[in-house]
Structure 1
Amino acid sequence: MRIMTREYAQQFFAQVEQAADVLHERYESTDKVNQSYILLWKINAEEGLQAAAYQVSPMAALIDTWVFSHQMNQFYSAGAGKGLFATDEATQVSAHLAKEVDKLAQSLLKKDVYVKTKVFVADFVEKYPFTDLSMIRTPAYRAWLAANQISEEEAVTTLGTMPEAIGDVSDRLSLVSEQTPKIMTWKAQLLALNSSASIEQVNAALNSLKVTSESLKDFIDNNPEYMRNLAEQMALKLQPLVEDIDQKTEERLSQLSEERQALELMVARERQEIAQIITNEREKFAQDLDHVSQEVVNLAMDKLIELVKSTIIYFILFILVIFFAPLVLGYALGKRSAVRTSTKSA
């Protein structure tokens, strides 16, 4: 979100400058009023959006950028800036940038959040329109938090990670290096247009400064002995500071070495303790495994003995049946035959 918002900011800067340059050509260079209006638009529009887009919180940057773009569009299309310029370059570029920021928000936010926030932006722009080219920015993020019933403590948790924070600082430094020279130039031009000093006088002052710097450079180039003595004096003056830095660096390195040794000892001790714990647990596991194995063997032997006993009993019964069953059967048949013989004799 932070990256996309700042990419839009760069697009905003480029298109405003391009439209302003076209307007600059529409008017005579001696037309102080309209030329001043054009410079004021570039200065205040870019400073305002810069403050909106380059905030720490990505969501705050998006909301304030969204609001600022629509405030500028409302200013030129229906507000106090309508008809300010003879042609409609400012109106067209403002409308285009408003559409672009709508697309940006739609791509970054969920559908329900986008719809709700778009209504909030429209209401906020209507409530706080730009009244002149100063384009004083009214921060909208706190109002958006209140409208969505979000506490500021929860909003602070979305500031990003450490790499994102480092990237934010890098972006800000890049912005300063790119935008500050341009804005300072525009302000100097605006001052020259609206003061008794002419452009020629301003250029003369700049040329004088250039001549002075060249004279200083020439003095340095043509006085090597003086510069050598100056360098020696600076070396003498700075030597205690350098030695102090070296001493503190050595102390820090020594401290780090001691801490590293202590850390290595601690790690070695932890490794020994972990190895001992693993050895103890392995021995306990082996003992438990032996005990379980012994119990399994004992149980198997008991079951085997019971099986052998049962087999012997059944075998004995089988033998008894085989040997004594014929005797019993013969005895029964003989007794029956004897009974029949006795009956016939009678």
Structure 2
Amino acid sequence: MFGFRHRYSKLMLLGALLGPLSGCSLLDISLDSQSTPLTTEELNTRLQTREYAVQFFAQIEQAADHLHDYYPKEDKVHQSYILLWKINAEEGMQHAAYQLSPIASLIDSWVFAHQMAAFFNTGAGNTLFSPIDTGDHQGLTVAQVTANHLQQAADEMARSVLTKSEFDKNLSFVEQFAKRYPFADLSFIRTPAYHEWLKANGISARDAVTTLGTIPEAIGDVSNRLALAANQGPKLLSWKAELIALNSTISTDEISAALNSVQATSQAFQDFVNNNPEYMEDLAKQMAIQLQPLVTEIDSKTSAQLAKLSQERMALDTMVARERSELVQLIERERKALAEIVDNERQKIAQDLDTLAQDAITQIMQQLTTLIKQTAVYLILVVLVIFFAPLGLGYALGRRSNGRRNEPRQ
């Protein structure tokens, strides 16, 4: 027994030591070079699907607890239905949502929500529970209300990670698949929809999963699965034990005793670790010696990566300086060319202005000469009129006067 604990404690300590290293950025540098990371869309799809799964678990448990309080404890039939609903719904969603492929998780979770809603609304589960007599959902059972809400939440989750055209196309597939493969009973036997989805979209199964992501992404996936097991595992175990006790001669006390035994074993191991500090210190030293080559390799690869990064940075600085110099020279050449063009245009404009001025002066002089000539003619005519008009008038008057004198008097 001590040998088993000795080996098991070594494994636990190794996991504890490797856990922090797996999240270290230096380890990422040395191990990520041979892996292809998931795309942003795939990571977002995985995150949204698993967040929906957590919401799914919480609402199923809340609705089941309400039904548990509604039916008497002596009603073994309905109490068994409630436990079966919780167990099979949450296990089915776990298998659907926590797959390697994010799109497979999305499609299977989406289909599961539609199948459960159809089961309680129009399928065999329509009459399993009594309808609600009051409230906004009068005439519906608690299971129907919960399933409908989870179906709507699944639609919204899919709409948030898909484009409109993709959502419409996949919604049609999900609805048709849910109708083709309905749940027959509360066992919720799940038919994986992902393979049918691949066929519907003309994708080969060999090309369905092209990468598992980088080491940190894979470790994060495993961490999520372990957290799920830690949170949901005890609940499922307790519900299954309660279901067995409800439908068999085994008492609840016996099941509780078995669970307490498991817990006591775990506590005993924890006490062993806490009460043997010297042994754990020696184990830590041994692990440090065993991990030293790995740490050395990480340091060497990290140094190489940093040196390579420094060289790339220097090359980038040189390239930027060269491009900057060429850009300055180009701007200077363009400036000189522009100045030369402006100077040429200015000279041409000045020449055009000189030509226009000469033409204007010539035309003005011609007009002025014509005006002077006309003015001289008018002056001569005026002078002639002024000087010769009185003379002619006097001459005419004189002749008239002489003519009157020469006439005989009567």
TM interval, shorter chain, is: 0.5 to 0.7
Which of 113, 120, 128 lines up with 1:65 in the alignment? 113
Q: 2: CA distance between counterparts of 1:260 and 1:247?
A: 20
Structure 1 residue 299 displacement after superposition: 0.6
Specify whether residues 61 and 201 from structure 1 end up closer, same or farther in structure 2 by C-alpha distance, changes over 3 A only.
Answer: closer
- Is residue 95 from structure 1 mapped to residue 139 from structure 2 by the alignment? no
Q: 2: CA distance between counterparts of 1:19 and 1:300?
A: 98
Structure 1 residue 290 displacement after superposition: 1.0
Specify whether residues 249 and 42 from structure 1 end up closer, same or farther in structure 2 by C-alpha distance, changes over 3 A only.
Answer: same
Consecutive unaligned residues of structure 2, counting only runs of 5 or more, are 1-44, 133-139, 204-212, 400-410
What residue identity is the alignment partner of 2:83?
Answer: L
Specify whether residues 49 and 233 from structure 1 end up closer, same or farther in structure 2 by C-alpha distance, changes over 3 A only.
Answer: closer
Structure 1 residue 253 displacement after superposition: 1.0
After superposition, where does 1:236-255 map in structure 2 within 5 Å? 236-255=289-308
* Identity rate, percent: 35
Structure 1 residue 307 displacement after superposition: 0.4
Instruction: Decide whether the 8 Å contact of 2:84 with 2:187 is kept in 1.
Output: yes
Q: 2: CA distance between counterparts of 1:295 and 1:94?
A: 91
Instruction: Decide whether the 8 Å contact of 2:111 with 2:193 is kept in 1.
Output: yes
The one-character-per-residue Cα deviations of 1:167-193 (angstroms, maximum 9, x if unpaired) are x97996675654344224323444566
Corresponding residue number in structure 2 for 1:228: 281
What residue identity is the alignment partner of 1:73?
Answer: N
Q: 2: CA distance between counterparts of 1:220 and 1:98?
A: 46
- RMSD between aligned residues: 4.8
Q: 2: CA distance between counterparts of 1:200 and 1:248?
A: 58
Deviates more, 1:314-323 or 1:12-21: 12-21
After superposition, where does 1:267-306 map in structure 2 within 5 Å? 267-306=320-359
Structure 1 residue 71 displacement after superposition: 2.0
Instruction: Decide whether the 8 Å contact of 2:113 with 2:154 is kept in 1.
Output: no
Structure 1 residue 134 displacement after superposition: 0.9
Corresponding residue number in structure 2 for 1:46: 90
Give the TM-score normalised by structure 1. Answer: 0.67
Instruction: Decide whether the 8 Å contact of 1:124 with 1:140 is kept in 2.
Output: yes
Structure 1 residue 276 displacement after superposition: 1.7
Structure 1 residue 42 displacement after superposition: 1.1
Instruction: Decide whether the 8 Å contact of 2:114 with 2:151 is kept in 1.
Output: yes
Give the TM-score normalised by structure 2. Answer: 0.58
Instruction: Decide whether the 8 Å contact of 1:64 with 1:140 is kept in 2.
Output: no
Corresponding residue number in structure 1 for 2:313: 260
What residue identity is the alignment partner of 1:265?
Answer: T
Specify whether residues 17 and 220 from structure 1 end up closer, same or farther in structure 2 by C-alpha distance, changes over 3 A only.
Answer: same
What residue identity is the alignment partner of 2:321?
Answer: A
Give the match's secondary structure for 2:235: helix
After superposition, where does 1:76-87 map in structure 2 within 5 Å? 78=126, 82-83=127-128
Instruction: Decide whether the 8 Å contact of 2:57 with 2:90 is kept in 1.
Output: no
Deviates more, 1:266-275 or 1:127-136: 127-136
Corresponding residue number in structure 2 for 1:159: none
Specify whether residues 48 and 74 from structure 1 end up closer, same or farther in structure 2 by C-alpha distance, changes over 3 A only.
Answer: farther
Count of residue pairs the alignment pairs up: 310
Corresponding residue number in structure 1 for 2:183: 130
What residue identity is the alignment partner of 2:117?
Answer: S
Corresponding residue number in structure 2 for 1:158: none
Structure 1 residue 309 displacement after superposition: 1.0
Specify whether residues 66 and 184 from structure 1 end up closer, same or farther in structure 2 by C-alpha distance, changes over 3 A only.
Answer: same
Specify whether residues 52 and 206 from structure 1 end up closer, same or farther in structure 2 by C-alpha distance, changes over 3 A only.
Answer: closer
Specify whether residues 103 and 234 from structure 1 end up closer, same or farther in structure 2 by C-alpha distance, changes over 3 A only.
Answer: closer
Give the match's secondary structure for 1:26: coil
Instruction: Decide whether the 8 Å contact of 2:131 with 2:141 is kept in 1.
Output: yes
Q: 2: CA distance between counterparts of 1:306 and 1:51?
A: 97
